[in-house]
Amino acid sequence: MTETINRPDVAAPSGTSDPSGRAQRWFDQLNAALRARDAETAAGLFETRSFWRDLVSLTWNMATVENPDGVADMLRHAVSTTAPGGFRLAEPAEDDGDVVTAWFTFETAAGRGKGLARLRGQGDELRCWTMMTALQELRGHEEPRGTRRPKGAEHGINPDRQTWSERREQERRELGESQQPYVLVVGGGQGGIALGARLRQLGVPSLVVDKHARPGDQWRSRYKSLCLHDPVWYDHLPYLKFPDNWPVFAPKDKIADWLEAYTSIMEVPWWGGTEVRDAAFDEAEGRWTVQAVRDGRAVTLRPTQLVLATGMSGKPNVPEIPGMEVFAGEQQHSSEHPGPDAYAGKRVVVIGSNNSAFDICGALWETGADVTMVQRSSTHIVKSDSLMEIGLGDLYSERALAAGVTTEKADLIFASIPYRIMHEFQIPLYDRIREKDRDFYQRLEAAGFQLDFGEDGSGLFMKYLRRASGYYIDVGAAELVADGKVGLAHGEVSHLTEDSVVLADGTALPADLIVYATGYGSMNGWAADLISPEVADRVGKCWGLGSDTAKDPGPWEGEQRNMWKPTAQEALWFHGGNLHQSRHYSLYLALQLKARYEQIDTPVYGQAEVHHTG
């Protein structure tokens, strides 16, 4: 990381056609305005319709401000608190004829950051369209890596010498017993583990706890045919990338083993078999009291910061349907489905038509079950190959790597597109996908499947960001529906009888097994369970952007609700998401926690209002 933070040699500015020179002159103007603490002049360097997204560098928050007014408001706060400055090109800028794209570095009172700006205009009259600033390290608390890596061996004579494993053993004995962690991370899935690795690296005493016995058990316990839906280039964890022989789509048990090995290699303090039952914040003391049960023994933990990394796919949504108690067969939520082996020759009804529903239907059909899918609302389907080629290929692929787009760079490019206009970048990609796979979509519709591409045609990522549901990345099972091999029915379930699922229109579907692929509940439900309903309401809903589309009610939030940033409850944080989000955003959450641990002043700009409690 440090190699791009130190100023590399940048081509000297030449004529006005030189994008680097033009971009650096724009940064010089910004620097001059910031030095003069003149937020208005700095904001005047922005287009009328413009965006500045900050990841904890100027705002100690995840915040996106819009237009010169918004920029001025944010900078008035920043010039007197975080003191940003020293903006300079990090590599030659690029001009595509319309937009000058400029990678840059900058400094604040507390640390160093990098960012990406998109500038437009004629000659030297550039104005900024989008700006993204991201803190990378805290001054004086740089990570011990690269040239700062630890020595490991202790040369010389020391009669009290402790080996690495003795130190680790001592830490294991003391942590959570005589030594309290500064940060307690509840939930040791991929999110908790990635954050644990970052906190370890930053020297913040932390503990990650999980109900499961071993890291990776979250994946081990899922249905047996499951492979990651996202390709390997998108899935790396922080610090330690998958080797280059890693499969494109890792089978679930392989990813589980990787998570377990990673936890050990990165020395993440991880307690298995530990269930957190209750947490209460003591305002006076500024600490949490957390009650947990570890291997059957009651334990009390007293962390200063509490992170819920309990999973967005953790709280199963099971609908309440009249007759559930009279149905004589088996009923399972998709998270409990063991896989198809026991169901050859059985009649299975799968309620739902998204990722899990398709995966489960496909595996059951392969095993010889008689499967019917019940579609309750339209679904966005994108073929995995098309998603990889058109949706992800420029950022996360061998092609991207060959073009110099590393994972870190790809993450920052992705983060640099303001949520407000991200759909505008996505719609053309999904138009291409729709065209490329036209026959496939026609066959699905001919089979009666209700398709959508999101309310504005922006496809998978926007659906994920807005509501985290309503889509399937097709790895083959859609063909079974198109061919009629997996039956398709529509509508809400009215009730169950002893041996069938009856739909609202009276259709009866005979069943030996019902699988509820009906998704998962909101993450702040965990706060209600573990802390209190009052705290859950105070912090409000997690995830979603306020796009005013289905399942993502407005008003517009600008950022994902509550994720990785200060919440309305002091010292309570939320972390999680897919592997890409866990990797990228764990850095900013870890830096916020580190700053608090080091008692660095962290004045928060733009604390989000809470609009939705559930």
Ligand X SMILES: Cc1cc2nc3c(=O)[nH]c(=O)nc-3n(C[C@H](O)[C@H](O)[C@H](O)COP(=O)(O)OP(=O)(O)OC[C@H]3O[C@@H](n4cnc5c(N)ncnc54)[C@H](O)[C@@H]3O)c2cc1C
Long-range contact list for 392-396, CB < 8 A, 24+ apart? 392/231, 392/233, 392/234, 396/231, 396/233, 396/234, 396/580
Give the tokens for residue 230. 């996202």
CA distance 197 to 180: 18
Residue range at the interface with ligand X (CB under 6 A); choices 155-163, 362-370, 534-542, 574-582: 574-582
- Tokens 């699988």 found at: 515
Per CB under 6 A, 222 contacts ligand X = yes
Per CB under 6 A, 463 contacts ligand X = no
Which alpha helices (DSSP H) does 318-396 contain, by range?
355-367, 384-386
Give the tokens for residue 112. 């160093």
Nearest Cα to 4, choosing from 102, 114, 92, 118? Answer: 114
Per CB under 6 A, 190 contacts ligand X = yes
Binding positions for ligand X, 477-536, rule CB under 6 A: 530
Specify the residue, 180 or 310, whose C-beta has the smaller distance to ligand X: 310
Using CB under 6 A, pick the residue from 269, 314, 362, 487 that binds ligand X. Answer: 314
- Kindly provide the residue ranges of all beta strands, DSSP E only, lying in 558-614, ordered along the sequence: 572-574
Q: What is the dihedral of CA 591, 259, 471, 466, to 10 degrees?
A: -10
Per CB under 6 A, 226 contacts ligand X = yes
Using CB under 6 A, pick the residue from 309, 357, 374, 388 that binds ligand X. Answer: 309
Kindly write out the interface string for residues 333-362 of this chain, putting x where it contacts ligand X by CB under 6 A and - elsewhere: ----------------------xx------
Using CB under 6 A, pick the residue from 312, 348, 371, 593 that binds ligand X. Answer: 312
Q: What sign results for the dihedral spanned by CA atoms 89, 94, 97, 100? A: negative
Give the tokens for residue 604. 């928060």
Pairing mode, strands 206-209 and 270-271: parallel
Least distance to ligand X from the beta carbon of 141, Å?
Answer: 26
Angle subtended at Cα 66 by Cα 61 and Cα 71, rounded to the nearest 5 degrees? 70
Specify the residue, 93 or 309, whose C-beta has the smaller distance to ligand X: 309
The separation between the first and the last C-alpha atoms of the chain, rounded to the nearest angstrom, is 39
Least distance to ligand X from the beta carbon of 362, Å?
Answer: 12
Per CB under 6 A, 191 contacts ligand X = yes
Using CB under 6 A, pick the residue from 107, 230, 370, 474 that binds ligand X. Answer: 230
Per CB under 6 A, 562 contacts ligand X = no
Residue range at the interface with ligand X (CB under 6 A); choices 71-79, 180-188, 386-394, 417-425: 180-188
Per CB under 6 A, 379 contacts ligand X = no
Least distance to ligand X from the beta carbon of 200, Å?
Answer: 16
Specify the residue, 68 or 189, whose C-beta has the smaller distance to ligand X: 189
Residue range at the interface with ligand X (CB under 6 A); choices 86-94, 299-307, 311-319, 554-562: 311-319
Nearest Cα to 92, choosing from 3, 14, 2? Answer: 14
Binding positions for ligand X, 89-148, rule CB under 6 A: none
Least distance to ligand X from the beta carbon of 214, Å?
Answer: 10
What b/e sequence results for 134-152 when a residue is b if at least 16 CB atoms lie within 10 Å of its CB, and e otherwise?
A: bbbbbeebbbeeeeeeeee
How many Cα neighbours within 13 Å face the side chain of 330? Answer: 14
Using CB under 6 A, pick the residue from 79, 116, 209, 517 that binds ligand X. Answer: 209
Per CB under 6 A, 208 contacts ligand X = no
Using CB under 6 A, pick the residue from 272, 362, 454, 576 that binds ligand X. Answer: 576
**Positions in the binding site for ligand X (CB under 6 A):** 186-192, 209-212, 218, 222, 226, 228-230, 274-276, 309-314, 355-356, 530, 576-579
